[in-house]
Structure 1
């Protein structure tokens, strides 16, 4: 009898131990799921550039995780302790601006660091690491939650990332000698273009419209692409161009104009030929001697373009204000004059003594480019006026006759 009760008690203890073991094993499995071992499979780093404060810059590292999430780590230098800087991934390029796509953890001023892990956009659209690498977006890091307009760091990401390939064009002064600068074309991964204009000498608080036009500056032409307005305080403008590829833009038949204001487009601050119209740096100059008035003289310079054409610049001193002086290339030499007109220049403006003309073909339609100028049997006449072509103000041999 005693043995029976002991056996029964042992059986109860055995069953209780078995149940505890089962539940214990179940808890261990649950704990293992909660602490999943997530590993980093790949990463890509994008640059974040200074905006309001030139001492603040950094990087944004995109990390592909093994659990199909993405981690973005922002690391900035130059931030100060006690500040908390909101950060977001926005749609579009930084030059265009766009709505918030993903809200990131704020950057701590003390460390300059922020880390955010996610797998969806703010609107719950699923996003993968691979999709982010091709994302049409940019990152903004703001000064504070109450001052989002002040941006301390910014950078294009995904397909908008810059490749490092750039091309710069000079923008010379026009109506204001103190204002000049350059336009830099930067290639994006998607072969679009960031156009950055930087001018020196612009008036503070000014707003200056800018455009890419068709043709050369000497010919003038209609607006091809409107650029973002230049801030007179900084002299800077940034524009994304997606209607034409970077490679095609480098071969574009165009020029850039920067105007004084929307209400005064006739006044130009700066101007420069771009694409195939860019000057190579090769030029030739011929003297234009005085004829009817010994005080009026000058020269003509032909500048070679990358497309083989030429820019002809006539520069005459002591021309009378208000006068317009016709000018031509004639056949033959000064010694054998008069010769037939081969090419007609833009008239010389008496107010500044300057004429600028694109040289691509003769008046009869025959091709006439920079190399032809060097060998032409010709001379240049600058006349007093259309009504008095017989009176010459300046004259000189060019090409084979020089």
Structure 2
């Protein structure tokens, strides 16, 4: 009986030690994942997803998974600084997308400058966008694109009507899209514009009824062929004497202002379309 008690005590000791050892074992690594939709540029028909996976060693695996790529062609891809609406230099080169599979997979922990470390958390806030190009010989032609990091759109937006003024048939909408970083993508979408024309556009102070008001924010000119203009707005226009001031999405949707779209750079007096924004549309 005494011998049995000793054996039982020893067994319980082994179980106890095993439980303590298990308690000290770290749980398996489960990295986070972030997915962005990648949209076609123009009529390319190329679209899909960009997936960022956090790795245990601190690196990030970036996978592009695209439909509509061209068999036998490698499509160069990069992460650029700034938003797609602004454009910017290459921050990080990705492995080209294989046109046969539509796949690119790149594991990174450093930007192209070989000096700046980049983590999963850094990329979630990064001021950047992804470009996918037609080929190494045709980098000017983009087939797909998406904003990433702080430039990601939240899904919140506000649209305003732009009415015909001096040019018959030109009208449309201005849509303000909120970004994760609080900045705004301003999208102008007009009908009735003509190919070969470009139409300067601005946000002015005051309302249409009080026009003319000073220019507060210069927008990207509307392309006559597509009727489109995309502008990233983070600041009001500055002057020679004074810098502009920061302006957020929340500021813009309450702003005392209006938008003018002009006939051309040589004919700013002729208005193609116009509409109130922000506080001037609240009744």
Q: TM-score, normalised by structure 2?
A: 0.84
- Deviations 1:220-260 (CA, angstroms, capped at 9, x unpaired): 10100000111111111100011211011100000000001
Partners of 1:129 and 1:107 in 2: CA distance? 21
Listed one character per residue, the Cα deviations across residues 348-394 of structure 1 (whole Å, up to 9, x for unaligned) are xxxxxxxxxxxxxxxxxxxxxxxxxxxxxxxxxxxxxxxxxxxxxxx
Q: Distance in 1 between matches of 2:29 and 2:135?
A: 33
Q: Match of 1:376?
A: none
CA deviation profile, 1:131-151 (whole Å, cap 9, x unmatched): 011100000001111111111
Q: Which residue in 2 is equivalent to 1:58?
A: 48
Q: String of CA shifts for 1:84-114, please: whole Å, max 9, x gaps.
A: 1100000000000000000000011111110
Partner of 2:127: 136
User: Of the candidates 223, 232, 235, which is equivalent to residue 231 of structure 1?
Assistant: 223
Instruction: Quote the Cα distance in structure 2 between the aligned partners of 1:39 and 1:56.
Output: 34
Alignment of 1:367-382 (within 5 A): none
Long gaps (5+) in structure 2: 1-27, 236-246
Structure 1 equivalent of residue 200 of structure 2 = 209
Aligned CA distance change for structure 1 residues 54 and 228 (closer, same or farther; 3 Å): same
State the Cα distance separating 1:39 from its structure 2 match: 6.4
Q: Tell me: higher relative CO, structure 1 or 2? Use CA pairs within 8 A at least 6 residues apart.
A: 2
Detail structure 1 runs of 4+ shifted over 4 Å in the superposition: none
Indicate whether 1:103 and 2:93 are aligned. yes
Partner of 2:24: none
- In the TM superposition, what are the counterparts of 1:281-296 in structure 2 within 5 Å? none
2:273 aligned with 1:270: yes
Aligned residue for 1:249?
252
Q: 1:54 Cα shift?
A: 5.3
Q: 1:121 maps to what in 2?
A: 111
Stretches of structure 1 that go unaligned for 5 or more consecutive residues are 1-37, 279-305, 309-402
Match of 1:190 in 2: 181
Residue 44 (structure 2) pairs with residue 41 (structure 1) = no
Distance in 2 (CA, whole Å) between partners of 1:207 and 1:108 is 36
Is the CA contact (8 Å cut-off) linking 2:45 and 2:143 kept in structure 1?
Answer: no
Aligned length: 243
Highest CA radius of gyration, 1 or 2? Answer: 1
User: Hey, what's the Cα distance between the residues in 2 that align with 1:130 and 1:97?
Assistant: 23
CA RMSD of aligned residues (A): 1.3
Tell me, what secondary structure is at the counterpart of 1:41? Answer: coil
Give, in angstroms, the shift of residue 161 of structure 1: 0.3
Q: Report if aligned partners of 2:95, 2:105 keep a CA contact under 8 Å in 1.
A: yes
Alignment of 1:347-362 (within 5 A): none
Q: Which of 82, 88, 99 is the matching residue for 2:78?
A: 88
3-state SS, counterpart of residue 210 of structure 1: strand
Counterpart CA distance in 2 for 1:227 and 1:140 is 22
CA distance, structure 1, for counterparts of residue 165 and residue 67 of structure 2: 41
Q: Which residue of 1 aligns with 2:23?
A: none
Describe how 1:378-389 pairs up with structure 2 within 5 A: none
Q: Secondary structure at the match of 2:276?
A: strand
CA distance in 1, matches of 2:81, 2:168: 40
Partner of 1:289: none
Shift of 1:52: 2.4
Deviation at 1:40, TM superposition (A): 5.7
Query: In the alignment, what sits opposite 1:339?
Result: none
3-state secondary structure, aligned to 1:218 = helix
